[in-house]
C-alpha cells in the first residue's frame, strides 16, 4: 500500500476534564496503528492528572511522550487551572522547536479548544494541519462558534432587554445557562479568550467532538449544514463517546459496592473542579441520609486535590459521618469514576454534568440527576434531560447562588432512583453509545476517515 502511517501529536489543556478525552483519543488512535506523540505540559496541576498520564504510558509503551516545560509566571492566578492555561500560553514559543524535531515528521496536530489561539500560529508557521478536540458537547460548540458574533457590542446591547440569546442559526438559549462573565459588557479575560479561541477553531483543519450522532443529532446537523452557523466552518466530526480504557481502572476493589444490590446505589460527584461550600456539603450529606437510598459520595471542598489535607470527619462532622455509615460510602476527593459507573450496583448518578461524566454515564447506561455547577454544565444538563438520560431541577441554580436544602435533595434522589422508565431509556442510550463506536457505527467511521486522510 502507498499509505504511510499517520503521526499525530496531541496537546491537552489543564484539568482532568480536558486531559481524559485526550488520553482516550491517544489510546483509540494507537489501537488503529497511528503513531501518537503525547505532549505533556509540565508541571501538571493535579495528582490525578500525573497518575492518569503514567497509566496511559505504562499500557501503551508505543505512545511517545514529550515533556513541554512551562515557563514560570510573573503574576500567579488564584485559579490553578486557569493559571495553567496562562502558563501554556506564555511558554508556547517553546513548542515550535519541540514539534519540528519530532521524527517521523508530524502529519497533524490536535489540541484543545482552549489552546487554539495560542497554538495555531505556531503550527501554521511550520505548515502543520491543525485539528481541535472540542472537549464539551456539540451544543456547546454551536454556542462557542457563534460567540464572537454575540460579543459584538451591538448584539450585547440588544441582549440587555432579553432573557434568551438569539443568534442566527443558533438554537435559543436562556441567558442563565451561560457563565455570567461571557455576557458582560466590556472586556474580561474569559471573554477575550473565548473570542480568540473561537475564531481560531473556526479556521482549523477540522473539529473533533466527543459526542455521538443519536445523542446530539440536531446540534451536529447545524454544525455540518453549510453556512447555517458561520459562513465558513471546517468539518465537525463526532467521534464519541471516547471509550474508557482498561488502564484507567484502579487496582482498588470497591468491596463495599460488591455487597450492594444491583442498581441500588446513587453515585454522587460534582467533578474534579467544583468545591462545594462547607454548608452545602453538610446539607447534601443530610439529604443523602434522608433519601434512604444507598450512595457513594465523593466529597470535595478544595479545587486542587494536592491541597486537601483535612480528614473527612473535619469536613462533614463526626455525627453525620456516623449516621451515613449504614447506607453510604463516603470518599475524600477522588474515586475512580470508571470503576464506579461500570459497577452493576450503581443505578444513578447525581452529577454536575461535566461533559466527560455525561458521556461516561451514557456509555454505562446510568441515569443522571443533574446539578450543574458552572461553565458549560447547564447546557449539558439540558441535553441530558432532553435525550432522556436524566432529569434536571432548573430552580436549583448554580455557583454560590443558593444552598439547596436537604429535603429537596432527598426528594429528587428518591424520584430518580425510583424512575423505572428513565432506567430503561438509559439502557437504550448505552446500546447506541456502544454501537456508534463499533464497526460500522457513525463515530467509528468518522475517526477512521480522518485517520485515512492523515495517512495519505
Ligand atoms: Br471528581 C472525579 N474520579 O473522583 P468532567 C472525576 N473523575 O475518575 P470536570 C474520576 O475525571 P470540566 C473522580 O470520570 C471524568 O472523566 C471522570 O471530567 C474523572 O468534569 C473526569 O466530568 C472529569 O468533564 O471538568 O472535571 O468538572 O468541567 O472542565 O469538564
Q: What is the pLDDT along the chain (456 residues), one digit of tens a residue?
A: 556 789 999 999 988 999 999 999 999 999 999 999 999 988 877 888 899 999 999 999 999 999 998 888 777 777 777 788 788 888 988 999 999 999 999 999 999 999 999 999 999 999 999 999 999 999 999 999 999 999 987 888 888 888 999 888 888 999 999 999 999 988 888 999 999 999 999 999 999 999 999 999 999 999 998 677 787 889 999 999 999 988 888 777 789 999 999 999 999 999 887 788 888 999 999 999 999 999 999 998 765 555 556 778 888 889 999 999 989 999 988 899 999 999 999 999 999 999 999 999 999 999 999 999 999 999 999 999 999 999 999 999 887 667 899 999 999 999 999 999 999 999 999 999 999 999 999 999 999 999 999 998
Q: What is the pLDDT of residue 46?
A: 81
In the reported structure, the alpha carbon of residue 357 is separated from the centroid of ligand 1 by a whole-number distance in angstroms of 6
Per residue in 424-439, is it b (16+ CB within 10 Å) or e — as a string? ebbeebbebbebbbee
Q: What is the pLDDT of residue 308?
A: 56
The H or E element spanning position 66 is strand 64-69
Q: What is the pLDDT of residue 397?
A: 85
> For 419, what's the count of Cα atoms within 13 Å in the CB-facing half-sphere?
23
**Among 271, 375, 384, which is best to mutate for testing ligand 1, by the most ligand atoms less than 8 A from CB?**
271
- Closest residue by Cα to residue 8 from 83, 111, 137: 111
Q: What is the DSSP letter of 330?
A: E
**Nearest-5° Cα angle at 15, 87 to 216:** 120
Q: How far is CA 120 from CA 68, 197, 282, 290, 319, in A?
A: 16, 9, 45, 52, 54
Alpha-carbon radius of gyration of the chain: 22
**Among 16, 82, 135, 211, which is best to mutate for testing ligand 1, by the most ligand atoms less than 8 A from CB?**
16
In the three-class reduction of DSSP (H, G, I as helix; E, B as strand; rest coil), residue 230 is classed as coil
Residue 112 falls in the annotated catalytic set: yes
- Closest residue by Cα to residue 131 from 120, 142, 144, 121: 120
Candidate list 7, 112, 343, 382, residue with the active-site label: 112
Provide the 10 A C-beta neighbour count for residue 421. Answer: 9
Q: What is the pLDDT of residue 15?
A: 86
In the reported structure, the alpha carbon of residue 336 is separated from the centroid of ligand 1 by a whole-number distance in angstroms of 10
In the three-class reduction of DSSP (H, G, I as helix; E, B as strand; rest coil), residue 427 is classed as helix
| Mutual angle of helices 138-151 and 189-202, in 10-degree steps | 110
Q: What is the pLDDT of residue 442?
A: 98
- CA-nearest residue, atom 14 of ligand 1: 337
Q: Could you identify the residue written with the cell 455521538?
A: 212
Pocket of ligand 1 (CB under 6 A): 15-17, 20, 269, 271-273, 298, 334-337, 354-357, 360, 375
Q: What is the pLDDT of residue 401?
A: 65
Residue 18 falls in the annotated catalytic set: yes
Amino acid at each position: 500500500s502507498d499509505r504511510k502511517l499517520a503521526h499525530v501529536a496531541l496537546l491537552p489543556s489543564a484539568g482532568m476534564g480536558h486531559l481524559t478525552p485526550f488520553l482516550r483519543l491517544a489510546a483509540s488512535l494507537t489501537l488503529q496503528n497511528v503513531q501518537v506523540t503525547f505532549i505533556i505540559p509540565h508541571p501538571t496541576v493535579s495528582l490525578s492528572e500525573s497518575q492518569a498520564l503514567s497509566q496511559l504510558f505504562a499500557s501503551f509503551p508505543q505512545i511517545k511522550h514529550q515533556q513541554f516545560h512551562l515557563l514560570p509566571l510573573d503574576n500567579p492566578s488564584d485559579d490553578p487551572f486557569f493559571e495553567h492555561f496562562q502558563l501554556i500560553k506564555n511558554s508556547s514559543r517553546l513548542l515550535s522547536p519541540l514539534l519540528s524535531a519530532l521524527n517521523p515528521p508530524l502529519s497533524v496536530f490536535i489540541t484543545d479548544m482552549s489552546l487554539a489561539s495560542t497554538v495555531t500560529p505556531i503550527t501554521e508557521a511550520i505548515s502543520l494541519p491543525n485539528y481541535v478536540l472540542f472537549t464539551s458537547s456539540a451544543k456547546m460548540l454551536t454556542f462557542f462558534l457563534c460567540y464572537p458574533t454575540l460579543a459584538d457590542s451591538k448584539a450585547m446591547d440588544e441582549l440587555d432587554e432579553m432573557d434568551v440569546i438569539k443568534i442566527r442559526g443558533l438554537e435559543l438559549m436562556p441567558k442563565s445557562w451561560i457563565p455570567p462573565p461571557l455576557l458582560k459588557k466590556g472586556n474580561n479575560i474569559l471573554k477575550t479568550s473565548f473570542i480568540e479561541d473561537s475564531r481560531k477553531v473556526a479556521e482549523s483543519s477540522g473539529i473533533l467532538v466527543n459526542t455521538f450522532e443519536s445523542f446530539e443529532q440536531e446540534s451536529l446537523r447545524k454544525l455540518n449544514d453549510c453556512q447555517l452557523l458561520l459562513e465558513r466552518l471546517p468539518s465537525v466530526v463526532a467521534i464519541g463517546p471516547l471509550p474508557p480504557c482498561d488502564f484507567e481502572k484502579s487496582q482498588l476493589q470497591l468491596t463495599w459496592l460488591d455487597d450492594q444490590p444491583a442498581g441500588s446505589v446513587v453515585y454522587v460527584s460534582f467533578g474534579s473542579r467544583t468545591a462545594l461550600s462547607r454548608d452545602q456539603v453538610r446539607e447534601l450529606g443530610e439529604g443523602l441520609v434522608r433519601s434512604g437510598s444507598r450512595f457513594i459520595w465523593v466529597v470535595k471542598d478544595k479545587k486542587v486535590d494536592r491541597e486537601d489535607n483535612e480528614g473527612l470527619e473535619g469536613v462533614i462532622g463526626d455525627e453525620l459521618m456516623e449516621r451515613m455509615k449504614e447506607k453510604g460510602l463516603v470518599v475524600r476527593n477522588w474515586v475512580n469514576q470508571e470503576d464506579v459507573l461500570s459497577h452493576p450496583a450503581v443505578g444513578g448518578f447525581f452529577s454536575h454534568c461535566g461533559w466527560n461524566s455525561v458521556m461516561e454515564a451514557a456509555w454505562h447506561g446510568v441515569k443522571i440527576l443533574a446539578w450543574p455547577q458552572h461553565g458549560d454544565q447547564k447546557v449539558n444538563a439540558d441535553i441530558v434531560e432532553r435525550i432522556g438520560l436524566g432529569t434536571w431541577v432548573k430552580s436549583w441554580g448554580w455557583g454560590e447562588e443558593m444552598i439547596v436544602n436537604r429535603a429537596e435533595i432527598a426528594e429528587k434522589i428518591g424520584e430518580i432512583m425510583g424512575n423505572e422508565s428513565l432506567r430503561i431509556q438509559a439502557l437504550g442510550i448505552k446500546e447506541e453509545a456502544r454501537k456508534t463506536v463499533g464497526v460500522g457505527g457513525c463515530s467509528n467511521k468518522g475517526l477512521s476517515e480522518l485517520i485515512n486522510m492523515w495517512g495519505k
